[in-house]
Amino acid sequence: MSSIQWDVGYIPRKHAQMHPEKTAIIFEDLPVTYGRLEEGINRCAHMLLAKGLNKGDRVCVLMLNCIEFLEIYFAVARLGGIFVPLNWRLLGPELAYQINDCEARFLFFHDSFLGSIDLVRGSLKVDQDKFIYLKNGGPQIPGFELPGCPTWAEEYVNLAVDQNGSFPVPPEPVFMDDPLAIVYTSGVTGHPKGAVLSHEQTFFKNFQIATYTESSSSDMLIAQMPLFHSGGLFIVATPALNAGMTMVMRRGFNPNEFAEDIQRYRGTIVFALTTMWRMIIESGKLDEIDVSSVRCVIGGGERTPQNIFDALSKRGLHMQQGFGQTENSAMMLMPREDIYRKMGSIGKPGYFTEIWIEDKSGKRLPPGEIGEIVAKGPTVMSGYWNLPEMTNAAIVNGVLHTGDLGYVDEEGFFYIVDRAKDMYRSGGENVYPAEVEKILLNHPEISQIAIIGVPDSKWGEVGAAFIVPKEKDKVISIEDVRDFLKDKIAKYKHPAHIKMLPELPLTATMKVKKSELKNKYADFDN
């Protein structure tokens, strides 16, 4: 056990002590100083103490991006509680599973999600006096009024307004290796797993991001990632505030607003996932604004076709792709000087992460050979909440098994081939859908694509491609796809089926839900 008594809650406190009038966050164009943020955190912490929060208690949050989200996060950290951000795209039963799985005592929720909570409230293990309601403060839809605070909940603003704004004393000491948060991962089969992240791991992620971006307190960060996701909270918000910079934050993502914010606030670091960058480029706004202030562009989250890099490069934006997971975020980043020389690579391991390729027997593989990407270091999660067997399967002798297949080249650059679960075998040959998808994303008429393996009586499995065309109602035939792939990739890797869709099912972080496609189209002909 770590003997270092320190926690993530010290991040805003230290900056409030050093420069209280510096702007920490610009939320929906309203500046919030480090001093004001610290005061809000302290009021929230005193409210939680008055409500009986004990060290180790789980505190769930179902909220859009807002200042209060960060107040609750840092207050819980400061008191030794465990913060559990919930994906607001989930339905009532899915939320109920995660809330009950972590045995939450507190639930903070925005008015927008009252219906989802009320639907399952009777089955929740949350203490009856610890449902806390907040207004999201966003623009109202004409003719539709969001519900007020229900009788079974209390309103955050009323609970916190008269609390003490001074630094609180935690009920018990908080140590670096204590759990800070539980972040649930997307479940491909069965229920999602809760990755437990400690204060220590979070600080090391802060240091890793700082080395990637060469950040300082003078930076202006532009990002519109959802805070409930590990990327938004642990790759964007926490490192930004740890560095003492100013972060521009919105309730949600809007490509036009994102581009305009770069110019409006003279952004120096910009962060968006691949699908977000695609939408930003297609909006045309990048051609109308001045991006000369930008010195660092971070992307990733999924495979990125070269046309995205090229489109950004034409506008003077050189995107460094990263790679990580909830279990070990920010593992790798592509050095800026190697973006085009090593196109297709996900970069090199970060300063606080060691990564290599293993075969199924645990043997380290040489350059060029495909195997599982494994990692170790202080940024790896502590384990899965209440799942010792799954934890032991994922972390073996301190080494995290990512479930991603890839290889490393002679210069130490890593390449992802595919998720191990996405690979399928056709006629005895391994097929990695990501390899085919990457090529087809450069097709002039394809906007998005996902390929899965489906059963086939002759070959065992064959590929089924789901395509979103750039032009609505455009039909792209299987012959068009095969002609485009001709001479680019082996014939056995060509998809045998094709289906046009208006959109692909996406997670909150814009990744394709292949599990949903597999469930819906297990029998492709039907």
CATH code of the domain covering residue 148: 3.40.50.980
Looking at residue 189, its pLDDT comes to 45
- Asked if residue 278 is part of any domain, the answer here is no
Query: How does pLDDT run across 12-42, given as a tens digit for each residue?
Result: 999 999 999 999 999 999 999 999 999 999 9
Rounded CA-CA distance 332/350 in Å is 5
Rounded CA-CA distance 502/125 in Å is 39
- Asked if residue 387 is part of any domain, the answer here is no
- Asked if residue 94 is part of any domain, the answer here is yes
- Asked if residue 135 is part of any domain, the answer here is yes
Question: Percentage of residues in the chain with pLDDT exceeding 70?
Answer: 94
Looking at residue 453, its pLDDT comes to 86
Looking at residue 253, its pLDDT comes to 92
Looking at residue 155, its pLDDT comes to 97
Looking at residue 389, its pLDDT comes to 94
Q: How many domains does the chain have?
A: 2
Residue 150 has pLDDT above 70, yes or no: yes
- Asked if residue 68 is part of any domain, the answer here is yes
- Asked if residue 465 is part of any domain, the answer here is yes
Picking from 148, 174, 200, the residue at the C-terminal end of a domain is: 174
Residue 207 has pLDDT above 80, yes or no: yes
pTM: 0.85
Closest CA to 154 of 47, 9, 311: 47
Q: What is the CATH number of the domain that holds 504?
A: 3.30.300.30
Query: Which stretch of DSSP H or E encloses residue 17?
Result: helix 10-18
Picking from 174, 199, 228, the residue at the C-terminal end of a domain is: 174
- Asked if 350 contacts 364 with a C-beta cutoff of 8 angstroms, the reply is no
Residue ranges making up the domain that contains 21? 13-174
Picking from 174, 204, 236, the residue at the C-terminal end of a domain is: 174
Query: How does pLDDT run across 441-467, given as a tens digit for each residue?
Result: 889 999 999 998 888 877 778 889 999
The burial class, CB within 10 Å (0-12 / 13-18 / 19+), for 216 is exposed
